[in-house]
Structure 1
Amino acid sequence: MFSRACEYGLRAVLYLATLNHNGYISIREIGEQLQISVPFLTKIFQKLTQAGLMQSLRGPSGGVMFARSPEEITLFDVIVAIDGPALFTECVLGLPGCGEAVPCPLHERWKDVRNPIRNLFATTTLADMARRIREANLRLIP
Protein backbone atom coordinates (compact mmCIF):
# COMPACT_ATOMS: atom_id res chain seq x y z
CA MET A 1 0.00 0.00 0.00
CA PHE A 2 2.88 2.38 0.81
CA SER A 3 6.27 2.78 -0.79
CA ARG A 4 9.31 1.54 1.09
CA ALA A 5 10.27 5.19 1.70
CA CYS A 6 6.88 5.83 3.29
CA GLU A 7 7.13 2.74 5.51
CA TYR A 8 10.58 3.81 6.68
CA GLY A 9 9.45 7.41 7.12
CA LEU A 10 6.53 6.34 9.28
CA ARG A 11 8.81 4.16 11.41
CA ALA A 12 11.34 6.98 11.76
CA VAL A 13 8.85 9.63 12.87
CA LEU A 14 7.15 7.19 15.22
CA TYR A 15 10.55 6.36 16.69
CA LEU A 16 11.20 10.06 17.26
CA ALA A 17 7.75 10.54 18.76
CA THR A 18 8.36 7.75 21.27
CA LEU A 19 11.57 9.40 22.48
CA ASN A 20 9.93 12.55 23.87
CA HIS A 21 13.12 14.40 22.93
CA ASN A 22 12.96 18.15 22.27
CA GLY A 23 16.27 18.68 20.44
CA TYR A 24 17.87 17.59 17.21
CA ILE A 25 18.65 13.90 16.74
CA SER A 26 21.12 12.79 14.11
CA ILE A 27 19.80 10.89 11.12
CA ARG A 28 22.73 8.51 11.57
CA GLU A 29 21.50 7.61 15.07
CA ILE A 30 17.95 7.09 13.80
CA GLY A 31 19.21 4.95 10.92
CA GLU A 32 21.34 2.83 13.23
CA GLN A 33 18.49 2.33 15.71
CA LEU A 34 15.98 1.38 13.00
CA GLN A 35 18.42 -0.40 10.69
CA ILE A 36 17.66 1.94 7.79
CA SER A 37 20.28 3.20 5.33
CA VAL A 38 21.36 6.73 6.30
CA PRO A 39 21.39 8.08 2.70
CA PHE A 40 17.86 6.72 2.11
CA LEU A 41 16.65 8.08 5.44
CA THR A 42 18.20 11.46 4.63
CA LYS A 43 16.12 11.66 1.42
CA ILE A 44 12.99 10.77 3.39
CA PHE A 45 13.67 13.47 5.97
CA GLN A 46 14.26 15.98 3.16
CA LYS A 47 10.68 15.35 1.99
CA LEU A 48 9.35 15.65 5.53
CA THR A 49 11.28 18.90 6.00
CA GLN A 50 10.00 20.32 2.70
CA ALA A 51 6.46 19.51 3.86
CA GLY A 52 7.04 21.49 7.07
CA LEU A 53 6.78 18.46 9.36
CA MET A 54 10.45 18.38 10.37
CA GLN A 55 13.27 20.85 10.86
CA SER A 56 16.83 19.97 10.03
CA LEU A 57 20.18 21.36 11.07
CA ARG A 58 23.50 20.51 9.45
CA GLY A 59 26.71 20.06 11.34
CA PRO A 60 28.10 18.03 14.23
CA SER A 61 25.28 18.91 16.62
CA GLY A 62 22.66 18.83 13.88
CA GLY A 63 20.02 16.36 12.88
CA VAL A 64 16.25 16.48 12.65
CA MET A 65 13.43 17.37 14.98
CA PHE A 66 9.70 17.93 14.66
CA ALA A 67 8.67 21.32 13.28
CA ARG A 68 5.35 20.93 15.11
CA SER A 69 4.29 18.90 18.08
CA PRO A 70 3.61 15.17 17.47
CA GLU A 71 0.08 15.95 18.74
CA GLU A 72 -0.39 18.13 15.64
CA ILE A 73 1.09 15.78 13.01
CA THR A 74 -1.08 13.01 11.63
CA LEU A 75 -0.15 9.82 9.85
CA PHE A 76 -1.90 11.32 6.81
CA ASP A 77 0.49 14.30 6.89
CA VAL A 78 3.50 11.96 6.81
CA ILE A 79 2.08 9.69 4.10
CA VAL A 80 1.22 12.59 1.79
CA ALA A 81 4.61 14.25 2.40
CA ILE A 82 6.45 11.11 1.30
CA ASP A 83 4.18 9.30 -1.18
CA GLY A 84 1.90 12.13 -2.24
CA PRO A 85 -1.91 12.06 -2.17
CA ALA A 86 -2.36 9.45 -4.95
CA LEU A 87 -3.53 6.68 -2.59
CA PHE A 88 -6.42 8.91 -1.56
CA THR A 89 -7.17 10.57 -4.89
CA GLU A 90 -6.23 8.30 -7.81
CA CYS A 91 -7.08 4.87 -9.12
CA VAL A 92 -5.90 2.19 -6.73
CA LEU A 93 -4.81 0.08 -9.71
CA GLY A 94 -3.04 3.02 -11.34
CA LEU A 95 -5.14 2.81 -14.48
CA PRO A 96 -5.22 5.99 -16.55
CA GLY A 97 -8.63 7.55 -17.08
CA CYS A 98 -10.28 5.77 -14.16
CA GLY A 99 -13.01 7.90 -12.62
CA GLU A 100 -16.74 8.20 -12.15
CA ALA A 101 -17.38 8.31 -15.91
CA VAL A 102 -15.12 5.35 -16.76
CA PRO A 103 -14.49 3.33 -13.59
CA CYS A 104 -11.91 0.56 -13.32
CA PRO A 105 -12.99 -2.87 -11.98
CA LEU A 106 -12.16 -1.85 -8.38
CA HIS A 107 -13.36 1.77 -8.54
CA GLU A 108 -16.69 1.40 -6.72
CA ARG A 109 -15.35 -0.95 -4.06
CA TRP A 110 -12.23 1.19 -3.44
CA LYS A 111 -14.34 4.35 -3.26
CA ASP A 112 -16.27 2.78 -0.37
CA VAL A 113 -13.13 2.13 1.70
CA ARG A 114 -10.87 5.00 0.59
CA ASN A 115 -12.52 7.69 2.74
CA PRO A 116 -12.64 5.63 5.95
CA ILE A 117 -8.95 4.77 5.48
CA ARG A 118 -8.13 8.43 4.79
CA ASN A 119 -10.08 9.48 7.89
CA LEU A 120 -8.25 6.90 10.02
CA PHE A 121 -4.88 8.30 8.96
CA ALA A 122 -6.06 11.92 9.17
CA THR A 123 -7.33 11.54 12.73
CA THR A 124 -4.43 9.52 14.14
CA THR A 125 -1.55 11.66 15.39
CA LEU A 126 2.04 10.68 15.94
CA ALA A 127 1.46 11.27 19.65
CA ASP A 128 -1.46 8.78 19.60
CA MET A 129 0.71 6.18 17.93
CA ALA A 130 3.71 6.82 20.19
CA ARG A 131 1.52 6.35 23.24
CA ARG A 132 0.19 3.04 21.88
CA ILE A 133 3.68 1.85 20.96
CA ARG A 134 4.95 2.58 24.47
CA GLU A 135 1.89 1.01 26.17
CA ALA A 136 2.17 -2.18 24.11
CA ASN A 137 5.97 -2.18 24.38
CA LEU A 138 6.23 -2.59 20.59
CA ARG A 139 9.49 -2.54 18.67
CA LEU A 140 9.93 -0.45 15.51
CA ILE A 141 12.85 -2.55 14.31
CA PRO A 142 12.04 -5.37 11.88
Structure 2
Amino acid sequence: MLSSACQDTIRAAVWLSTKPAGEFHRIQVISDALDLPFPFLAKSLQKLVHAHLLISQRGATGGVTLAREASEITLLSIIEAVDGTTFFDACVLGIGDCEAEKPCALHAQWDIWRQEMLEMYAAMRLSDITDDVTLRKVKRI
Protein backbone atom coordinates (compact mmCIF):
# COMPACT_ATOMS: atom_id res chain seq x y z
CA MET A 1 0.00 0.00 0.00
CA LEU A 2 2.74 2.48 0.93
CA SER A 3 5.36 3.20 -1.69
CA SER A 4 8.70 1.47 -1.26
CA ALA A 5 10.30 4.90 -0.76
CA CYS A 6 7.89 5.57 2.09
CA GLN A 7 8.53 2.18 3.66
CA ASP A 8 12.29 2.75 3.49
CA THR A 9 11.94 6.24 4.93
CA ILE A 10 9.89 4.97 7.86
CA ARG A 11 12.57 2.35 8.51
CA ALA A 12 15.26 5.06 8.45
CA ALA A 13 13.25 7.29 10.80
CA VAL A 14 12.81 4.37 13.21
CA TRP A 15 16.57 3.70 13.03
CA LEU A 16 17.25 7.36 13.84
CA SER A 17 14.78 7.27 16.72
CA THR A 18 16.82 4.52 18.38
CA LYS A 19 19.85 6.81 18.52
CA PRO A 20 20.55 9.55 21.10
CA ALA A 21 18.61 12.77 20.51
CA GLY A 22 20.50 15.43 18.58
CA GLU A 23 23.16 13.02 17.33
CA PHE A 24 23.74 13.41 13.59
CA HIS A 25 24.19 10.34 11.39
CA ARG A 26 25.40 10.22 7.82
CA ILE A 27 22.85 8.93 5.34
CA GLN A 28 25.43 6.45 4.04
CA VAL A 29 25.64 4.93 7.52
CA ILE A 30 21.85 4.60 7.69
CA SER A 31 21.78 3.19 4.18
CA ASP A 32 24.41 0.58 5.06
CA ALA A 33 22.76 -0.33 8.38
CA LEU A 34 19.39 -0.95 6.72
CA ASP A 35 20.74 -2.29 3.42
CA LEU A 36 18.94 0.42 1.43
CA PRO A 37 20.11 2.16 -1.77
CA PHE A 38 21.86 5.39 -0.78
CA PRO A 39 20.61 7.68 -3.60
CA PHE A 40 16.96 6.80 -3.05
CA LEU A 41 17.22 7.05 0.73
CA ALA A 42 18.97 10.41 0.48
CA LYS A 43 16.17 11.76 -1.70
CA SER A 44 13.46 10.48 0.65
CA LEU A 45 15.16 11.78 3.78
CA GLN A 46 15.48 15.18 2.12
CA LYS A 47 11.67 15.23 1.97
CA LEU A 48 11.61 14.75 5.75
CA VAL A 49 14.01 17.66 6.12
CA HIS A 50 11.69 19.85 4.03
CA ALA A 51 8.74 18.70 6.18
CA HIS A 52 10.71 19.70 9.33
CA LEU A 53 10.77 16.13 10.62
CA LEU A 54 14.56 15.87 10.28
CA ILE A 55 17.41 18.32 10.64
CA SER A 56 20.25 18.11 8.15
CA GLN A 57 23.76 19.35 8.87
CA ARG A 58 26.69 19.55 6.49
CA GLY A 59 30.33 19.02 7.27
CA ALA A 60 32.54 16.48 8.97
CA THR A 61 30.13 16.04 11.87
CA GLY A 62 27.07 16.35 9.64
CA GLY A 63 24.25 14.06 8.73
CA VAL A 64 20.62 13.93 9.79
CA THR A 65 18.80 13.70 13.10
CA LEU A 66 15.19 13.87 14.21
CA ALA A 67 13.92 17.44 14.40
CA ARG A 68 11.82 16.65 17.48
CA GLU A 69 11.09 13.84 19.90
CA ALA A 70 9.98 10.56 18.35
CA SER A 71 6.80 10.81 20.41
CA GLU A 72 5.91 13.97 18.46
CA ILE A 73 6.30 12.43 14.98
CA THR A 74 3.38 10.46 13.58
CA LEU A 75 3.62 7.89 10.84
CA LEU A 76 1.04 9.96 8.94
CA SER A 77 3.41 12.95 8.89
CA ILE A 78 6.14 10.77 7.36
CA ILE A 79 3.74 9.25 4.82
CA GLU A 80 2.47 12.68 3.78
CA ALA A 81 6.03 14.03 3.47
CA VAL A 82 7.13 11.17 1.21
CA ASP A 83 4.00 10.06 -0.67
CA GLY A 84 2.04 13.33 -0.51
CA THR A 85 -1.25 14.31 1.03
CA THR A 86 -3.40 12.72 -1.66
CA PHE A 87 -2.11 9.21 -0.99
CA PHE A 88 -5.34 8.10 0.66
CA ASP A 89 -7.55 9.80 -1.92
CA ALA A 90 -6.60 7.50 -4.78
CA CYS A 91 -8.86 4.70 -5.91
CA VAL A 92 -7.90 1.42 -4.28
CA LEU A 93 -8.35 -0.33 -7.66
CA GLY A 94 -6.32 2.29 -9.52
CA ILE A 95 -9.25 3.71 -11.48
CA GLY A 96 -8.42 7.33 -12.15
CA ASP A 97 -11.92 8.82 -12.11
CA CYS A 98 -13.34 6.86 -9.16
CA GLU A 99 -15.50 9.14 -7.01
CA ALA A 100 -18.83 9.16 -5.19
CA GLU A 101 -20.73 9.90 -8.41
CA LYS A 102 -18.85 7.19 -10.37
CA PRO A 103 -17.72 4.66 -7.73
CA CYS A 104 -15.61 1.60 -8.34
CA ALA A 105 -16.59 -1.81 -6.97
CA LEU A 106 -14.71 -1.23 -3.69
CA HIS A 107 -15.44 2.50 -3.26
CA ALA A 108 -17.81 2.26 -0.28
CA GLN A 109 -15.62 -0.23 1.60
CA TRP A 110 -12.46 1.72 0.75
CA ASP A 111 -13.98 4.82 2.35
CA ILE A 112 -14.26 2.88 5.62
CA TRP A 113 -10.79 1.32 5.37
CA ARG A 114 -9.21 4.63 4.36
CA GLN A 115 -10.62 6.39 7.41
CA GLU A 116 -9.45 3.58 9.70
CA MET A 117 -5.97 3.68 8.17
CA LEU A 118 -5.77 7.48 8.47
CA GLU A 119 -6.72 7.27 12.13
CA MET A 120 -4.21 4.48 12.75
CA TYR A 121 -1.31 6.30 11.05
CA ALA A 122 -2.23 9.58 12.77
CA ALA A 123 -2.30 7.88 16.18
CA MET A 124 0.89 5.85 15.72
CA ARG A 125 4.00 7.67 16.86
CA LEU A 126 7.56 6.92 15.86
CA SER A 127 8.24 6.27 19.56
CA ASP A 128 5.67 3.43 19.55
CA ILE A 129 7.76 1.58 16.97
CA THR A 130 11.02 2.52 18.69
CA ASP A 131 9.75 1.01 21.93
CA ASP A 132 9.01 -2.26 20.13
CA VAL A 133 12.49 -2.23 18.59
CA THR A 134 14.29 -1.56 21.87
CA LEU A 135 12.20 -4.20 23.65
CA ARG A 136 13.07 -6.59 20.81
CA LYS A 137 9.42 -7.23 19.96
CA VAL A 138 10.40 -6.88 16.31
CA LYS A 139 13.22 -8.80 14.69
CA ARG A 140 14.39 -6.07 12.32
CA ILE A 141 13.68 -2.55 11.24
Asked if structure 2 preserves the Cα contact closer than 8 Å seen for 1:11 and 1:140, the reply is no
Unaligned runs of 5+ in 2: none
Q: Alpha-carbon deviations, 1:84-113, whole Å to 9, x = none?
A: 123322222232221111111111111111
For these two proteins, the number of residue pairs brought into alignment is: 141
Q: SS of the residue aligned with 2:32?
A: helix
Identity fraction in percent: 37
Q: Where does residue 112 of structure 1 map in the other structure?
A: 112
Q: Where does residue 15 of structure 2 map in the other structure?
A: 15
1:41-80 equivalent positions in 2, closer than 5 A = 41-80=41-80
Unaligned runs of 5+ in 1: none
Distance in 2 of aligned mates of 1:60 and 1:137: 35
Q: Where does residue 33 of structure 1 map in the other structure?
A: 33
Q: TM-score, normalised by structure 2?
A: 0.92
Distance in 2 of aligned mates of 1:7 and 1:136: 20
Report whether the alignment pairs 1:86 with 2:92: no
Distance in 2 of aligned mates of 1:51 and 1:93: 29
Q: TM-score, normalised by structure 1?
A: 0.92
**CA-CA distance at 1:137 after TM superposition:** 4.5
How large is the RMSD of aligned CA atoms in angstroms? Answer: 1.4
Question: 1:3 is aligned with what amino acid?
Answer: S
Distance in 1 of aligned mates of 2:119 and 2:7: 19
